[in-house]
């Protein structure tokens, strides 16, 4: 967990150097997933319960479905992004292959950063515009990870679009769909 968080902070502070550090000091795929991403998305789901502290006429019981949605939107996004990028990356990588290890690590950090934004948004009693724009920074961090994944330099636009459409967009799409059908 500590190495995951150390890499996460490095990616936030300096995305290009962060991906270099992730490549130079690899962590186990299972550690990144089980001890990094899963605790973050569980925390993101549970952070929804903090709304009961500052929203009038809201109880913990009414927020439990929102907590489940908070977890599911990130977990399902991870799964969808894994499938989409596994199918798309062979077309744009320099060797035509997908390094499953690197893709898993990449997604653990990208979805993890999005869940950190969710935690931050849930802990704030009001909506801040700055927090709403933080996914753009996650897009920058993912873009800087193109060399880590071995993406050719002539297809960076397609890579940027694929990462945004498979990592950032599904989070909001799943939140909307799950809120419509569960709540």
> What are the start-end ranges of the H helices in 93-153?
100-123, 129-144, 146-149
Structure tokens at 4: 């995951």
pLDDT at residue 156, as a whole number: 93
d(CA 161, CA 143): 9
DSSP SS3 for 93: strand
pLDDT at residue 165, as a whole number: 96
pLDDT at residue 124, as a whole number: 87
pLDDT at residue 142, as a whole number: 97
- Claim: this prediction has a pTM higher than 0.85: yes
DSSP SS3 for 125: coil
> What are the start-end ranges of the H helices in the chain?
2-13, 15-24, 29-32, 38-47, 51-54, 60-92, 100-123, 129-144, 146-149, 156-163, 169-182
Q: How far separated are the first and last CA of the chain, in Å rounded?
A: 33
Q: pLDDT tens digits for the chain (183 residues)?
A: 788 999 999 999 999 999 999 999 999 999 999 999 999 999 999 999 888 788 777 777 888 988 999 999 999 999 999 999 999 999 999 898 999 999 999 999 999 999 999 999 989 888 788 888 999 999 999 999 999 999 999 999 999 999 999 999 999 999 899 888 876
d(CA 36, CA 107): 11
pLDDT at residue 59, as a whole number: 77
> Domain limits of the chain?
2-182
Q: What is the maximum alpha-carbon separation in the chain?
A: 57
pLDDT at residue 102, as a whole number: 95
């Amino acid at each position: 967990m500590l190495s995951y968080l150390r890499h996460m902070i490095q990616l936030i502070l300096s995305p290009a150097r962060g991906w270099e550090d992730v490549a130079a000091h690899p962590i186990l795929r299972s550690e990144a997933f089980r001890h990094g991403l899963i605790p973050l998305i569980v925390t993101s789901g549970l952070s929804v319960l903090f709304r009961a502290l500052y929203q009038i006429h809201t109880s913990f019981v009414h927020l439990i479905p929102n907590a489940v949605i908070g977890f599911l939107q990130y977990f399902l996004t991870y799964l969808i992004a894994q499938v989409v990028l596994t199918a798309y990356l062979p077309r744009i990588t320099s060797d035509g292959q997908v390094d499953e290890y690197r893709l898993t690590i990449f997604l653990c950090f990208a979805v993890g950063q999005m869940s950190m934004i969710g935690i931050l948004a849930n802990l704030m009693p009001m909506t801040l515009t700055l927090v709403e724009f933080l996914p753009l920074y996650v897009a920058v961090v993912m873009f800087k990870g193109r060399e880590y994944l071995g993406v050719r330099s002539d297809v960076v636009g397609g890579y940027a679009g694929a990462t945004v459409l498979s990592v950032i967009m599904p989070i909001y799409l799943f939140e909307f769909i799950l809120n419509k059908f569960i709540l």
